[in-house]
């Protein structure tokens, strides 16, 4: 069903070494640094410190050196704060680099950038080894830190989900962008046939943001948004379902309506600015429960649309609802597609070679989900979960558990590093 860039990982998470591990996560809007402590007992996992900062926008189209120097500097500050004056000379720190852009892996700790997405545009980095860039910047700052793993964010989320609950076989991120990965039988991966793993399974990073099909109906708003984006003809699915874009779809609908009618008053020049309406504002509009829709009025004023009557404010809420409902339902269709592929949708799956008993017995299936859109936009989450039940049916849905994993991608990546130490 989906296009894939075929990144496959082993998941040896049941073995992990106690100690302190670090993760640096470069998302589309934020970067996060965290430290986790693993104890002797398998269940002991303590997330000790988490920092989350917006990525300064000028870095998104700067140079490789500027970006990685900034990340290394941020890590240095994080460590200085942690040490608080104590001398930890000679302590080498193991770091997971959680990177939420498409990468062609060359090993667990190296991989080259295939392309940028989500508005990043540092062209010299395409084809470069991302982990090496970070390691180089850490070395230049004299930080004794080792980039032990380069991990896609979905794989990090799956790792944490799997660590807590081995029925976790799918992980999906709905943040600035969107992506999914799932656990697949090695012999069902054509590219990996003959490759043996101890568990018999591998994680497939789908890069589903780039899924496309002629059956996926696109509106003129989707077409225009894509054409005017920095990655035209790319990431079509992501552009319909993720946080970076939902606000801009809504903005385009309001702009068209204000051009075609006078319900919004004079055309606001601000409304013509791409991405001026953020998805955070879409959820604030959608969830405005004041009787006069004052929050809607305030947000519209910020984009140059003032003094519109309540009836028009209600229309704006409706636009947000339609755009978000579509996104939630498409997201659910994506998850259902994965469950179908691995035989967890009650049908037995697309992949041949499953035994009859495997097909007939519906297993408990956990889908780990993370990302700011899912975590913070209640209506998106509800539409997605409602549609998933609708597609799977009540009976199969009882076996499918959708679990939110806050910071799952970073914590899970640190766990992967721990599993590499033993
Ligand atoms: P990243 O994509 O950088 O890893 P997140 O997973 O936290 O970061 O996702 C951030 C994105 O989530 C924001 O850019 C925004 O699109 C979306 N988001 C965050 N909060 C909200 C909210 N309250 N309502 C709607 N969307 C939100
Ligand atoms: Mg993210």
In the chain, domain spans: 5-160+407-421
More confident residue, 207 or 422: 207
**Alpha-helical segments (H) within 84-216:** 130-140, 153-164
- 3-state DSSP call for residue 111? strand
Per-residue model confidence as pLDDT tens digits over 127-147 = 999 999 999 999 999 999 999
| Other residues' Cβ atoms within 10 Å of the Cβ of residue 45 | 18
18 band by pLDDT with thresholds 50, 70 and 90: confident
User: What pLDDT score does 190 carry?
Assistant: 81
174 alpha carbon to ligand 1 midpoint, in Å? 8
CA atoms of 99 and 150, how far apart (whole Å) = 7
User: Is any atom of ligand 1 closer than 6 Å to the C-beta of 209?
Assistant: no
Instruction: Give yes or no for residue 216 having a pLDDT over 50.
Output: yes
The answer to whether residue 76 scores a pLDDT higher than 70 is: yes
pLDDT band at 53 (very low <50, low <70, confident <90, very high): very high
Say if residues 49 and 84 touch (Cβ distance below 8 Å).
Answer: no
CA 102–ligand 1 middle distance (angstroms): 19
Q: Is 417 exposed, middle or buried (0-12, 13-18, 19+ CB in 10 A)?
A: buried
Q: Which atom of ligand 1 is nearest to the CA of 100?
A: 4
**Could you tell me the distance, in angstroms and rounded to a whole number, from the CA of residue 31 to the centre of ligand 2?**
8
Ligand nearest to the CA of 287: 1
Task: State the closest ligand 1 atom to the C-alpha of 31, by its place in the atom list counted from 1.
Answer: 3
The helix (run of H) or strand (run of E) holding residue 30 is strand 30-38
Indicate whether residue 162 lines ligand 1 (CB < 6 A).
no
Mutate-to-test residue for ligand 1 from 376, 379, 412, highest number of ligand atoms within 8 A of CB: 376
pLDDT tens, position by position, 91-101 = 789 999 999 99
Ligand 1 atom nearest to CA at 25: 4
> Could you tell me the distance, in angstroms and rounded to a whole number, from the CA of residue 371 to the centre of ligand 1?
6
Distance (Å) from CA 408 to ligand 1 centroid: 14
With a pLDDT cut of 70, the percent of the chain lying above it is: 90
Residue 221 has pLDDT above 50, yes or no: yes
CATH 3.20.20.80 fits 5-160+407-421, yes or no: no
Cβ of 371 closer than 6 Å to ligand 1, yes or no, is yes
Is residue 175 lining ligand 1, measured as CB closer than 6 Å? Answer: yes
Among left, alpha and beta (phi > 0; psi -120 to 50; other), residue 178 is beta
For 55-88, give one letter per residue: b (16+ CB within 10 A) or e: beeebbebebeebbbbbbebbeebbeeeeeeeee
Positions marked active-site:
32, 100, 153
């Amino acid at each position: 069903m989906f296009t894939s860039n075929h990144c496959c990982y082993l998941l040896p998470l049941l073995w992990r070494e106690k100690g302190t591990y670090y993760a640096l996560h470069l998302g589309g809007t934020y970067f996060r640094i965290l430290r986790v402590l693993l104890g002797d007992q398998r269940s002991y996992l303590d997330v000790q410190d988490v920092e989350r900062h917006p990525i300064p926008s000028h870095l998104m189209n700067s140079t490789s050196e500027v970006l990685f120097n900034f990340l290394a500097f941020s890590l240095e500050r994080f460590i200085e704060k942690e040490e608080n004056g104590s001398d930890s000379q000679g302590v080498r720190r193991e770091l997971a680099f959680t990177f939420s852009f498409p990468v062609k892996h060359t090993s667990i700790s190296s991989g080259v950038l295939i392309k940028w997405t989500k508005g990043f545009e540092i062209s010299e980095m395409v084809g470069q080894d991302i982990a090496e860039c970070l390691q180089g910047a850490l070395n230049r700052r004299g930080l004794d830190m080792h980039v032990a793993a380069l991990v896609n964010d979905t794989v990090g989320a799956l790792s944490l989900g799997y660590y807590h609950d081995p029925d976790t076989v799918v992980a999906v991120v709905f943040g600035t962008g969107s992506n999914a990965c799932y656990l697949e039988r090695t012999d069902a991966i054509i590219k990996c046939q003959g490759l043996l793993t101890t568990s018999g399974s591998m994680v497939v990073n789908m890069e589903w943001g780039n899924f496309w099909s002629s059956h996926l109906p696109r509106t003129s708003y989707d077409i225009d948004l894509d054409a005017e984006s920095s990655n035209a003809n790319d990431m079509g699915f992501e552009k319909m379902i993720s946080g970076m874009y939902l606000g801009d779809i809504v903005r385009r609908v309001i702009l068209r309506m204000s051009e075609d009618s006078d319900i919004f008053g004079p055309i606001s020049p601000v409304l013509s600015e791409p991405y001026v309406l953020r998805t955070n504002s879409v959820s604030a509009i959608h969830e405005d429960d004041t009787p006069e829709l004052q929050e809607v009025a305030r947000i519209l004023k910020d984009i140059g649309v003032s003094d519109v009557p309540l009836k028009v404010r209600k229309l704006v809420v409706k636009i947000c609802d339609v755009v978000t409902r579509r996104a939630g339902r498409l997201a659910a269709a994506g998850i259902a597609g994965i469950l179908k592929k691995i035989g967890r949708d009650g049908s037995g799956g697309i992949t041949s070679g499953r035994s009859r008993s495997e097909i007939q017995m519906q297993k408990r299936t956990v889908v780990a989900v993370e990302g700011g859109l899912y975590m913070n936009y209640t209506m998106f989450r509800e539409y997605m979960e409602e549609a998933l039940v609708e597609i799977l049916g009540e009976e199969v849905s009882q076996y499918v558990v959708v679990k939110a994993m806050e910071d799952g991608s970073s914590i899970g990546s640190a766990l992967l590093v721990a599993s590499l130490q033993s």
